Amino acid sequence: MSPSRYAGETALVTGAQGFLGSWLAERLLGEGARVVVPRRDVPALSRFRLERLDERCDLVDADVLDEAALARVVNEYEPELVFHLAAQTVVGTANRSPLVTFETNVRGTWNLLEACRALGRRSPVRAIVVASSDKAYGSHDELPYREDFALQPIYPYDVSKACADLLARSYADTYELPVAVTRLANLYGPGDFNLSRIVPDTARSLVRGERPVVRSDGTPQRDFLHVADAVEAYLAVADSLARPELRGRAWNAGAGKPVAVIEVVERLIAASGRDLPPDVRGSGTPAGEIDRQWLDSTAIRRELGWEPERGLDDGLSKTYAWYARVFA
C-alpha cells in the first residue's frame, strides 16, 4: 500500500473507540484520511484514548440507534469510506441481554446502511465494509468454515451478527450499494480491554502475579488473528469494492489454524516468564458458546492478496509486553 493512499478522503468509522476500531482509525489516519467517529459513550479506559486518537479524529455525538443523527452525520461529512464496527461484542452479555444486542447489532446496521442509501446518486461513498463474525456460521460438523457455508447460528450474539451480515448483502444486491462483509477470526493484540476474553484476562492476571483462570476445560479451539492483520483485511476488502462484481461478497479472514484455549494461556504464561499454572475451572465448553471454530481464508488470499503477517507466539509476546506496561 502506497503512502497516503487515502489522503484527502473521509472515512466514517463506527465503533472506533473499541479494540479493532481504534487500530483501524489509527491506520486510516496514517494513510492521510480524515476519520469521523460517531460516539455515544466515552469509555474510561480504551486504546482510542490512550493513544490520543480522540485528538486526531472528528468526534460527533451520534448513536447508531438514532437513525436521524446517523443520517445527519453521513449527510454532513459525505464519507468516501464507511466501516461499520459498532456492536455489542460480548457473548456473555448477549446471552444475558439479547434485546440490547439485537438492537445494537441489527438495527444499528440497517440505520447506517439506510443513511448511505438515502444519499442516492450524489453519494460519494465508494466502499462500505460491515463487520460480521465467524460466529455467524454457527456450529458445523465440517471445518474450517468457508464463505459458502450456511449461516445457522443459535445463540443471540451469533444470530445478531448473521442478521447484520444478511442485511449488508441485501443492500448491496437490492440497492447496488458498494457493500462487503468481513467474517473474522478471534482477534487479539494490544488494546483489548474486554476482560471476558481470554487474552486480556490472562495477561492481567499474570501481571498481577495471579494464576490465570480458564472458565472452560481448556479444549475449545479458536482461530486467533492479530488485530493489525485484521485491519489490513478490512482495507483490502474496502479497496476491492472498486470492482462492482465484488460487491455483496463476504470474506473470511483468519490465521486458518485452530488453537486450543489452554494453549493460548500457556503461551502467554511463557511470554510473561512467570511460574503461574492456569487455574482450569470448567468442565467443557461454556454455555452459549461453540466448541470448535476456524476459518478457511483461501478466497481473500487468492483474490485480494491478503495474508496474515504475525505469528501467534510473536504476537502474544508483544501483546503481553503491552499489557504489562498498562496494567503495571
Over residues 233-285, the pLDDT tens digits come to 999 999 999 999 999 999 999 998 999 999 999 999 999 999 999 999 988 77
130-152 pLDDT per residue, tens: 999 999 999 999 999 999 999 99
Q: Which of 155, 157, 188, 320 is catalytic?
A: 157
pTM of the model: 0.95
Q: Confirm if 186 and 308 have CB atoms less than 8 A apart.
A: no
Alpha-carbon gap, residue 276 to 48, rounded angstroms: 31
Is 137 catalytic? The answer is: no
CATH topology of domain 10-185+227-254+294-308: Rossmann fold (3.40.50)
- Condensed to tens digits (0 to 9), the pLDDT of residues 172-208 reads 999 999 999 999 999 999 999 999 999 999 999 999 9
Cα–Cα dist 159/167, whole Å: 12
Decide: residue 17, CB within 10 A, 0-12 exposed, 13-18 middle, 19+ buried.
buried
